[in-house]
Each structure stands twice: as C-alpha cells, then as structure tokens.
Amino acid sequence: MNILITGGFGNIGALVVDECLRRGHTVSVFDVQNKRTQKLARKYGKRNVHVLFGDLRKAEDVSRAVVGQDLVLHLAAILPPVSDAHPDLCHAVNVGGTANLIAALQASVTKAALVLVSSASVMGATQERVPPIRSDDPLSPIDAYSRSKIEAESLVAASGLRYCILRLAAVLPTVLNYSSLFAMIKLFFDMPLDARCEIVIDLDVAYALVSAAENLLGSGEMTGKRGFIAGGKAQGCQMRTRDLVGVVFRPIGLRIPDESLFSPEPDSYYLDWYDTEETQSILRYQRHSVEGWQQIIMTRIRYVRPFLPLFKAAIVRWIEKQSPLYQASTVKSGRTRKRRARGFRRVQD
C-alpha cells in the first residue's frame, strides 16, 4: 500500500512511519522543511521513505504530495501552545490545510482514503458527565486547537472520501526529548489532581493509525467512523491525575510536585475516560500497559538514572516552576516587591 503521512516527522508521526515500514508499506512523508526534518529525511531516506517538503496551506504542494497514494494519514497540525498564541495560523493549517488535502484527494486519480487524526479535546470539559465519554456525545471546544479540529472533522465527513476520524487521548511518549517532556509537564499542571484522565502509549497510537489505514482499504469496518484512541481500563490507562503524576515521577525517584501548583478547577482541562470498545474491537491496538510504559522508560534512562538522586531536588524545583500557578504567583510577588520598593523610596524622599 502507498501511504502518505502528513506531519510524518513529528513525535507520533515518526513512530507511524516506523510502523508502516514494519508492515511492508511504501511510505511518503509530507512535512515542513527545517534542520530537524532535513536530518530525519536523510535518516529515513536510507529506508526508502520518499520525503516531500511543503506547506499544507499551499494547494500546489499538497496536490503534488498525494499523487499515486492509496491512503493519507493526516497528522500534521498546529498544536497547543502555539495554537493558543497564533489562532490564525492554527486555523490556516488545521482547517485550511485539511481543506487543501481533501480537494487534492478529490481531484486525484487514485481517490485515496483518508485517516484524520483528531483530538479528545473536541469534547471539551466533561468531568461533570458520567464516564465513559462516547464519540457521539455533544462537542464543546475549549480553545483554538479543538475548534479547528471540529471544523476539520466536519470537512472530512462531508468530503465524499473513504475516511475515518480518530480522536487521541493524552499520549505518553516512549521517546523522550525536551519538547515532549516539557509538553507533558505543562499538561499535568493544567489538570486537577482528582480529575479523571485516560492516557495512551505513543506506540499504541502508531499501531492504531496504521491498522485504521489498512482497515479502510480492506474490510472497511472503520469507514465513516469517529472514535477515540485511548489506552483502556484493562491496561491501567484510566486513572486520576494524581495517579498519572505518580506513574511518571515515582519510578525515577522524584516526588510529586506541590499539590497547590495544580489547577483547582474541575473543568480546567478536557481529559476523561473514554469509550474505546469499538475502536479496540476493530483495531486491537491497546497493547501496552502503564507498567509496560514504565519499563520502556526505565530502560531508556538506565544510564542516567543512577545520577538522578544527585539532582532530584533541583529537577523537582524546575518542574514546579513550569506550573502556571507558580508563574502567576511569582509575577504577583514581583509586583508586590516593586510596589514596596517604590513606597520605600517615597518615604525616603
């Protein structure tokens, strides 16, 4: 099968490329060009991956990319926090780019099928609802990113193409880098400690996406469906935020950050427990447990783990400083000190 992966050099995208290659598919990647993607292009070029650099906002780039493809896995998107800072860019890429992709596929000879990667954030704040959250429950976007995903989903559903839409829960990375680690830490502090949350391991996401691609061009049970990709209760992936923080921090010997630094608002974030019965029955992707994820991470950090106790206090302090509540209190404290200093100078004068 000829598969085009948009955003194929992202954290999840690269795992999807690996999974496609493992299953013997012919892979093309469409991504933006920068130093990082150029390096990955050289790496994957040695594995016969065809790389096309371009911009989703340019229809001609997208049309060039879809030629000869049987299916497109559409992962490319502007994510938070960039989407919050630049909502116009978010809409142009996530909605406009999806529209360009649909138009290119409609005009192509092969009429390739489309798997749209969406987000559980389209459901909005759901802690007051009775879990598990179903894919046909009312949508309630909370930010520019989730609004853009709802628009993209609507475009795909009305396209006339063979498609399915997969909404990802919070993804735990097995490949640790600064960007994924920083994003995960920021995510924690946005979540109340007693809130329900469900995670999914990135390897299982990649497995699910490629299985969905194969299903669309095979037996077709996923055609026209929207569903959640989440880790599942059986794998220990449904928990409370405080449990999730413990899962991540305790195995590496770090204490849980100060509880006052986590959001106190029950509806401050979108995560919940999700109904994955249908997607799991078709795709069989829930293959890694929380304990399995911990084992993978411990193997990855085995050379630095003996040194972590030497720096754990400093590491936890740095982590706590990433909390928006910590940062807000620091700004407020700084303003108070400045007011006191100005008052002191006036008294002196």
C-alpha to C-alpha distance for 226 and 215, rounded to whole angstroms:
14
pLDDT digits (tens, 9 = 90+) for 280-305: 999 999 999 999 999 999 998 888 88
Q: In whole angstroms, give the CA distance from residue 270 to residue 317.
A: 26
Q: How confident is the model at residue 233 (pLDDT cuts 50, 70, 90)?
A: very high
The single-letter DSSP state of residue 95 is I
**How is residue 261 annotated by DSSP?**
G
196-201/238-240 β-pairing:
antiparallel
Q: Are 240 and 194 in contact (CB under 8 A)?
A: yes
| CATH number of domain containing 17 | 3.40.50.720
Exposure string of 169-208, with b = 16+ CB inside 10 Å and e = fewer, is bbbbbbeeeeebeeebbebbbbbbbebbbbbbbbbbbbbb
pLDDT tens-digit map of 70-81: 999 999 999 998
Number of domains in the chain: 1
DSSP 8-state class, residue 108: S
Residue 335: per-residue pLDDT: 54
User: Is the CB of residue 41 less than 8 Å from the CB of residue 229?
Assistant: no
Render pLDDT for 151-161 as a digit per residue (tens, 0 to 9).
Answer: 999 999 999 99
Residue 189 included in any domain: no
Instruction: Specify the DSSP class assigned to residue 92.
Output: I
- Using N-to-C axis directions, what is the helix angle for 202-216 and 11-22, rounded to 10°? 50
188 φψ region: left (φ > 0), alpha (ψ -120 to 50), beta (else): alpha
Angle between helices 241-249 and 290-300 (to 10 degrees): 30
Q: Which residue has the tokens 């990802």?
A: 168
**120 domain residue, yes or no:** yes
Does residue 102 sit within a domain?
yes
pLDDT digits (tens, 9 = 90+) for 194-205: 999 999 999 999
> Is residue 220 one of the residues assigned to a domain?
yes
* Domain presence at residue 181: no
Range of the domain at 282: 2-171+198-234+272-290
Q: Does any domain span residue 262?
A: no
Other Cβ atoms less than 10 A from the Cβ of 38: the count is 14
Residues 6+ apart with CB under 8 A from 136: 226
Domain assignment of residue 69, yes or no:
yes
CA dist 141 and 124 (Å) reads 5
- The pLDDT tens digits for 24-68 are 999 999 999 999 999 999 999 999 999 999 999 999 999 999 999
pTM of the model: 0.92
- Counting residues of the chain whose pLDDT is more than 90, the rounded percentage is 79
- Average pLDDT in the 227-245 region? 97
Q: Is residue 321 part of a domain?
A: no
